[in-house]
Amino acid sequence: MIDFKKTIAKSIAEAIKIDEKELETYIEIPKDTNNGDYAFPCFRLAKELKKAPPMIANDIKNNIKIDEKFIEKVEVAGGYLNFYIQQSVMVKDVLEEIANQEEYGKSEIGKGKNIIVEYSAPNIAKPFHIGHLRTTLIGNSLYRIYKYLGYHTIGINHLGDYGTQFGKMIEAYKMWGEEYDLSVDPINKLMDMYVRINELCKKDENVLERCRENFRLLEAKDQYCVDLWNKFKDLSMVEFNKIYDILNVKFDSYKGESFYADKMDEVIEKLNEKGVLKESEGAKIVDLTDVGIDTPCIVQKANGSSIYATRDLAAIMYRAKTYDFDKCLYVVAYEQNLYFKQIFAVARYLVDEKYVKGLEHVSYGMVNLPTGKMSTRLGNVVKIEDLINETIEKAKEIIIEKNPELKNKEEVAKKVGVGAIVYNTLSTTTIKDQIFDWDTALNFQGETGPYIQYTYVRTKSVLEKAGYIPKIGEVKFDNLLDETSKNCIKLIYNFENTLVQVTEKEEPSILSRYLIDLAKAFSNFYNDNKILVEDKDVQNARVYLTYAVGKVLKIGANLLGIEMPDKM
């Protein structure tokens, strides 16, 4: 497609002799369409050119040579230079691209670059609760979007399958295992044991010490502990995979913490070689005050056991060697901000600088209950399976009420329910905390997943009534120059750029917002324009635009992890 931003940046660069690529990064898309299709903020040049922004804007306008095939006009508005695209050119360009590209917006901009996305990472022997929802869905959407843009993307589920908690689980099983039949509902029973052992550890230091010893034995490959650990892991993965199947979440690797058990000695050795490993109260630490971090990073406990940090550092070394990554994203709650600063700071002693630069913590806010924070130790969690089942059931009730004759109600309810959860999770900026609310998530009229699905179904209904999709050669583009048609076209044009923005900011909510904007734009187009009309040229154009909107809604929703029903 025509790159209008590049065309504008080139014209400005020729007028003021500043690097074209730098200028391109300054160009914005105005929220108000009255301010043009693109805006160049001259404030960015005030210091360099030693002039007031309005004066710079006027100077550029007077000296710029625009290609009138692409640019209709240029106007000054305060310190902005507003560019208006020739709409007939944009309409033609967008719809021809839709016709020629099956996977619209797909690109190869990431070709040759390796991106690791670590997400989900539930703890073995604990329920998959809504605290894991955001990491799972944010990571899944980033994985899909990076892949769509041509990056070699590796999705890793860094399972919480190691650590002192397993010493506790082993002790709990030793004490009470005979009370529980793990062939039925095993995760809830393991969780019950975990809550019980934590309560006992608070009261009895000797029990806590036995738990620590169990983990030390597990690290030493004690057969009883290893067999029990494997049993917990196998039971957990059966339950986790049920959730992943429903949410349509996939991974390329399930290498959890335990995979790095035999790789941690290298971490200790390297840090020793660099002379940065110090002893503190029997533990081994790395001091990080030189990079402004007052809290040292512990890499080995006083009893010789490893810690999360040891395994994460081993993982960074392994991933650098195995994947030669350009970026390694950790989709983990913001509560771990300090931890990742520590890990990334220690990594400079273990891997090349290019890998350290590629380490990135994609932090997100917590999902809370209306009554407050959850804790597996206390047992007050909402399991994702329960949340999904209840949301699907509520979606089914709404569907029966609105369309009792609908076939495949169960299948549609599943897509709508899961879509509601996915969209609700990805609709706000990652850093904000969330409280899940069914009434909000399942609103067919609000800014929700069901609203996007409903709009897509409406496009399908229009095409079904029309009975055909015209060939692109039958579309007269001048029939799509009204305001509501242009708004749809401009949004479709910006689809690939929207995906790029997601990867630049690691923020799926940018795509979520885009899909709502496109759905609303189509709703306005649908309300303002009768699509099936006597004038065949007008009908062809409007039917094709309907097809184009539906296509982009479906692709975009899929990149978030939302499936579209054909009817609702």
User: Tokens representing 411?
Assistant: 């299948």
Per-residue pLDDT averaged across 139-148, rounded? 98
Mean pLDDT of 484-512: 97
From the list 337, 335, 329, 388, the residue with the least C-alpha distance to 366 is 335
Higher pLDDT: 19 or 526? It is 526
Q: What pLDDT shows up at residue 380?
A: 55
- Asked whether this chain's domains 4-85 and 114-368 adopt the same fold, the reply is no
d(CA 82, CA 54): 12
Q: In the beta sheet, which residues pair with residue 274?
A: none
User: Domain ranges in the chain?
Assistant: 4-85, 114-368, 384-560
Region 75-94: what's the mean pLDDT? 95
Task: Using CA atoms of 129, 189, 228, 263 in order, give the dihedral in degrees to the nearest 10.
Answer: 10
Query: Distance (Å, rounded) from C-alpha 506 to C-alpha 437?
Result: 25
- Token pair of 232 as six digits: 């917990």
Cβ 38 vs Cβ 27: under 8 Å: yes
pLDDT at 301: 87
Q: What's the average model confidence in pLDDT over 154-160?
A: 97
User: Which among 43-52, 331-340, 428-437 has the top mean pLDDT?
Assistant: 331-340
CB neighbours of 183 closer than 8 A, spacing ≥ 6?
none
| Order of strands, sheet of 80-85, starting from the edge strand that comes earlier in the sequence | 38-41, 80-85, 71-77
What is the reported pLDDT for 511? 98
pLDDT tens-digit series, residues 386-411: 889 989 998 999 999 989 999 999 99
The three-state secondary structure class of 28 is strand
Among 39-48, 321-330, 510-519, 546-555, the minimum mean pLDDT is found in 39-48
pLDDT of 345 reads 98
Structure tokens at 84: 């208006």
Q: How far is CA 387 from CA 243, 247, 308, 438, in A?
A: 11, 12, 29, 10
Q: What is the pLDDT of residue 247?
A: 96
pLDDT of residue 373: 53
Mean pLDDT of the chain: 93
Residue 370 pLDDT: 61
d(C-alpha 103, C-alpha 555), whole Å: 8
Given this model, what pLDDT does residue 1 score?
Answer: 87
R_g (Cα) of the chain, nearest Å = 28
Checking if the pLDDT of 229 tops 50, the result is yes
Residue 257 to residue 270: CA distance in whole angstroms: 20
Tokens of 520: 């609303």
What is the pLDDT averaged over residues 337-346? Answer: 97
3-state secondary structure of 555: helix
Tell me, what amino acid is at 43?
A: F
Triad 539, 541, 546: Cα angle to 5°: 90
Rounded distance between C-alpha atoms, residue 254 and residue 158, angstroms:
6
Banded pLDDT at 377 (limits 50, 70, 90): very low
Q: What is the pLDDT of residue 376?
A: 46
Is the per-residue pLDDT at 278 higher than 50?
A: yes
| Phi/psi of residue 405, nearest 5 degrees | -85, -5
Q: Regarding beta strands 327-333 and 114-118, do their DSSP bridges make them parallel or antiparallel, or are they unpaired?
A: parallel
Nearest 5°: phi and psi at 361?
A: -95, 110
Predicted local distance difference test score (pLDDT) of residue 357? 98
For residue 564, which phi and psi values (nearest 5 degrees)?
-100, 130
> Beta strands 367-368 and 434-435: pairing type?
parallel
Taking 90 as the threshold, does the pLDDT of residue 245 lie above it?
yes
Least confident of 429-433, 440-444, 486-490: 440-444
Question: pLDDT confidence of 129, banded at 50, 70, 90?
Answer: confident
- Which fold does the domain 4-85 belong to in CATH? Gyrase A; domain 2 (3.30.1360)
pLDDT for the residue 126: 86
- CATH for the stretch 114-368: 3.40.50.620
pLDDT digits 0-9 by tens, 442-455:
777 788 999 999 99
pLDDT band at residue 438, thresholds of 50, 70 and 90? low
Residue 17's pLDDT is: 85
The conformation of residue 369, written as its DSSP 8-state character, comes to: B
| Amino acid 378: pLDDT | 43
Percent of the chain residues topping a pLDDT of 70? 97
- Helix (H) / strand (E) element for 285: namely strand 283-286
Please, is 399 exposed, middle or buried when counting C-beta atoms within 10 Å of its C-beta (0-12, 13-18, 19+)? Answer: buried
Cβ density class 483-500: b for 16+ within 10 Å, e for less: ebbbbbbbbbbbbbebbb
Q: What is the pLDDT of residues 472-481, one digit of tens each?
A: 999 999 999 9
* Domain 384-560 sits in CATH 1.10.730.10: yes
